[in-house]
Structure 1
Amino acid sequence: MVDLSPEPNRPPLSAASRALRLGGIAVTVAALAGAFAYVNGTFDPHRLTPASLVNVLEKNNGVHPGFRRNHAKGVCVAGYFESSGEASAYSSAEVFTQARTPVVGRFALPSGSPYAPDGSVPIRSLALRFTQANGQQWRTGMNSMPVFPVGTPEAFYQLQQAQSPDPATGKPNPAAVPAFFAAHPEAAPFLQWIKTAKPSASYASETYNGINAFYLVNAAGQRQAVRWGVVPLARGTADATPSQGADFLAQDLVKRLAEGPLRWQLSITLANPGDPVNDASKAWPADRTVLNAGTLVLERTQPQDNGECRDINYDPLILPSGIEGSEDPLLAARSAAYANSYLRRTREVSQLPANQESRP
């Protein structure tokens, strides 16, 4: 609500001035509403919408009530972040200036099935929520792959369509995915990585990459394009052959945390002028400056059925002052699709019978 009443010691607004101010507010609201309608496809029924993205994930993975539509299988973790102070010159965010910030996270598989075997995919994911003392939050979702397969939401949607079951056979067309990648040369770095990627035996041994670019903003308003990731330290680096069974990752994590906290270094890579900041399919050169922003410490795990991470939407555009999103179109698409998925699964949870276990 906007207060149009006169401030103390200031003459009241004239009728003309009041009309102009109200007119300006109306224009702003109309512009915001128009942007929202455009994103959701109101103006163009053929435009990609958040619902379309979530629908194709449901088509490919099935609907599992109460679960996330992607990264459905996971486990909650909690701990804190210890800042090194090294990033405070680049960002005014409290997470980089305070000694310790509470964290609630979630390890997961990149699959829409909550029952997928842990060895079925080589990618692992880690989402984090940092809650600052001032109440502001930083939420981020990271993956063990170094780059995203494609650079736009439309291309990602087309990739999902290529993996959709053919109504005639009930199975995906085996020629569809190769045809998609043949038409998308930007996927070459991801395809090169996936050729040698193998399922790890532990969430603790993985490096997790933010992939998308963001901006750190310091107290003087200076902006620095960055990408971030977390690199395992000490005990997290020990790995072995994946265990037998479908759920070895959660079992391994519980065992490791029973022996003590697990730690990762938060590494923030600074872009040079000209580095691509709006395309997550393109890597930055390896010689870029990397800050050691601090240490992520995970102390305990919780089942995702009733853990604190269950009801968190790890929207990558929920950011504190001092961190801003880039114009990477995947960020806006992720934010909108996550919200759509969140509304669906929380609605389903509330409708489950009292004796039926929910696993969002």
Structure 2
Amino acid sequence: MSQPTPANPPPRKRSPVPALLGIAAIVAAIAGAFAWVGGWFGERLTPQRMTDTIEAGKPHPGYRRAHTKGVCVAGTFAPSAQAPGLSKARVFTQASTPILGRLSIGGGDPHGADAQARVRSVALLLKTDDGQEWRMAMNSFPFFVVATPEAFQAQNIASAPDPATGKPDPARMAAFLEQYPEAKKFLAWAKSAPWSNSWANTQFNGVNSFWFTDAQGQRRAVRWSLRPQAPFEALSEAQRKQSDADFLSEEFDARLAKTGPVKWDLVVTEAKDGDPIDDPSQPWPQDRPQVVAGTVSFTATSPQATGGCRDINYDPTVVPDGIEPSKDPILAARSAVYSVSFNRRQHEIGAGQAPEATGAAKGEAK
């Protein structure tokens, strides 16, 4: 099947558009997390093709294609007394559930500098005593850049580096924002929101919606977040310039050694009638009901090349009885490309191309 042919870009503008280039860089850091098996521009685009685009001819064998740098984490989830009223999922009724997770940064460089990554992420695998699994993938941004896979593909095309300059074409980005103005909210967040100085005090958000079903059969649309128990501390621009390339993992290990487990509250937000259930680019109003469903505790880290997270595909559509995905098309998109990326990575690892567990090569993600 032939590759889809993008529409001709608009003529290049002479004046630079720094803000548009900023969004290109930020969104490109998370571009590897999404694909779709539907049609773009009238032609069918497979997850394999999308993964090829993500790799851009420069794959890092043995590493994840997106959120490439990270560390494995181990810990537990303990439900709150209110959790069983939200969903009949076993994870909300057993006393404690083990976690195999991963902390990471955005981008596709396994040796990227932590302080230059605007997006930070966490992935979790909870496996209950009856063998059911709940896999989650959350990010530090509060909503997604666009609403559909088609729009995200348009962004990927617009943010592709110009061969002449090695940077995105400002005219293409301007045309993208004109066609998909919802992306401007993400740009505003990226420019204004403070950077945290630790994974431990970062709030991670599940921007996609799911449905919870309780023991009485009542269904409710929800989104969830991990709200840190550690107080937020900002990372200044000067600190970003001076920080060690691996400062996030180094700081997290030092924190564990000094104070013990690092904890987040799992906060579940319930939608009300009229809220956009299937649009991850639209945040819900701040006054929506919230329930602390339990506590996530991380107790140890290990290199991703040898740790328990290495061979896990953190597909967010893998959920237990009592939880089901919404019809948000981004969820299906993530599942499709995660599968392709995982299979390629496992083949490379099996062929002896696994990443080294040294230095800045401690990471993978999603």
- Whether TM-score is above 0.5 comes out as yes
Residue equivalent to 1:331: 331
Unaligned runs of at least 5 residues, structure 1: 1-38
**Which residue identity lines up with residue 336 of structure 1 in the other structure?**
A
* Secondary structure in 2 matching 1:175: helix
Residue equivalent to 1:226: 222
Residue equivalent to 1:276: 276
Match of 1:105 among 101, 104, 109: 101
Residue equivalent to 2:27: none
Q: Percent of aligned pairs with the same residue?
A: 47
TM-score (normalizing by structure 2):
0.82
Residue equivalent to 2:32: none
Q: Is 1:56–1:164's contact at 8 Å kept on the other side of the alignment?
A: no
* Secondary structure in 2 matching 1:282: coil
Q: 1:264 to 1:291 in 2, by over 3 A?
A: same
Superposition map of 1:299-314 within 5 A: 299-314=299-314
Q: 1:346 to 1:183 in 2, by over 3 A?
A: same
Residue equivalent to 2:245: 246
Take 2:248 and 2:197, find their aligned partners in 1: how far apart are those partners? Answer: 7
Tell me whether 1:173 sits opposite 2:172 in the alignment.
Answer: no
Tell me whether 1:150 sits opposite 2:146 in the alignment.
Answer: yes
Take 1:214 and 1:156, find their aligned partners in 2: how far apart are those partners? Answer: 21
Residue equivalent to 2:294: 294
The CA deviation at 1:51 is 1.6
Take 1:41 and 1:327, find their aligned partners in 2: how far apart are those partners? Answer: 14
Give the total of aligned pairs. Answer: 318
Take 2:89 and 2:174, find their aligned partners in 1: how far apart are those partners? Answer: 43
The CA deviation at 1:40 is 4.7
Q: 1:90 to 1:72 in 2, by over 3 A?
A: same
Tell me whether 1:50 sits opposite 2:47 in the alignment.
Answer: yes
**Which residue identity lines up with residue 269 of structure 1 in the other structure?**
T
Tell me whether 1:68 sits opposite 2:64 in the alignment.
Answer: yes
* Secondary structure in 2 matching 1:215: strand
**Which residue identity lines up with residue 191 of structure 2 in the other structure?**
K
The CA deviation at 1:168 is 4.6
Q: Is 1:48–1:154's contact at 8 Å kept on the other side of the alignment?
A: no
Match of 2:85 among 63, 85, 89: 89
The CA deviation at 1:54 is 1.4
Take 2:352 and 2:166, find their aligned partners in 1: how far apart are those partners? Answer: 29
The CA deviation at 1:192 is 1.9
The CA deviation at 1:47 is 1.9
**Which residue identity lines up with residue 64 of structure 1 in the other structure?**
H
Q: Is 2:74–2:100's contact at 8 Å kept on the other side of the alignment?
A: yes
Residue equivalent to 1:347: 347
Take 1:347 and 1:172, find their aligned partners in 2: how far apart are those partners? Answer: 32
TM-score (normalizing by structure 1):
0.83
* Secondary structure in 2 matching 1:130: strand
**Which residue identity lines up with residue 191 of structure 1 in the other structure?**
L
The CA deviation at 1:138 is 0.2
**Which residue identity lines up with residue 87 of structure 1 in the other structure?**
A
Q: Is 1:122–1:200's contact at 8 Å kept on the other side of the alignment?
A: no
Match of 2:197 among 196, 201, 210: 201
Unaligned runs of at least 5 residues, structure 2: 1-35
**Which residue identity lines up with residue 248 of structure 1 in the other structure?**
F
Q: Is 2:135–2:317's contact at 8 Å kept on the other side of the alignment?
A: yes
When structure 1 is superposed on structure 2, of 329-338 and 110-119 the one drifting more is 110-119
The C-alpha deviation readout for 1:324-344, integer Å capped at 9, x for no partner, is 000000000000100010011
**Which residue identity lines up with residue 338 of structure 2 in the other structure?**
Y
Superposition map of 1:253-264 within 5 A: 253-259=252-258, 260-264=260-264
Residue equivalent to 1:317: 317
* Secondary structure in 2 matching 1:309: coil
The CA deviation at 1:177 is 2.2
The CA deviation at 1:99 is 1.4
The CA deviation at 1:353 is 5.8
**Which residue identity lines up with residue 145 of structure 1 in the other structure?**
F
**Which residue identity lines up with residue 245 of structure 1 in the other structure?**
D
Tell me whether 1:118 sits opposite 2:114 in the alignment.
Answer: yes
Residue equivalent to 2:15: none
Take 1:281 and 1:240, find their aligned partners in 2: how far apart are those partners? Answer: 26
The CA deviation at 1:216 is 0.5
Q: Which has the larger radius of gyration?
A: 1
Take 1:207 and 1:112, find their aligned partners in 2: how far apart are those partners? Answer: 22
RMSD over aligned CA atoms reads: 2.1
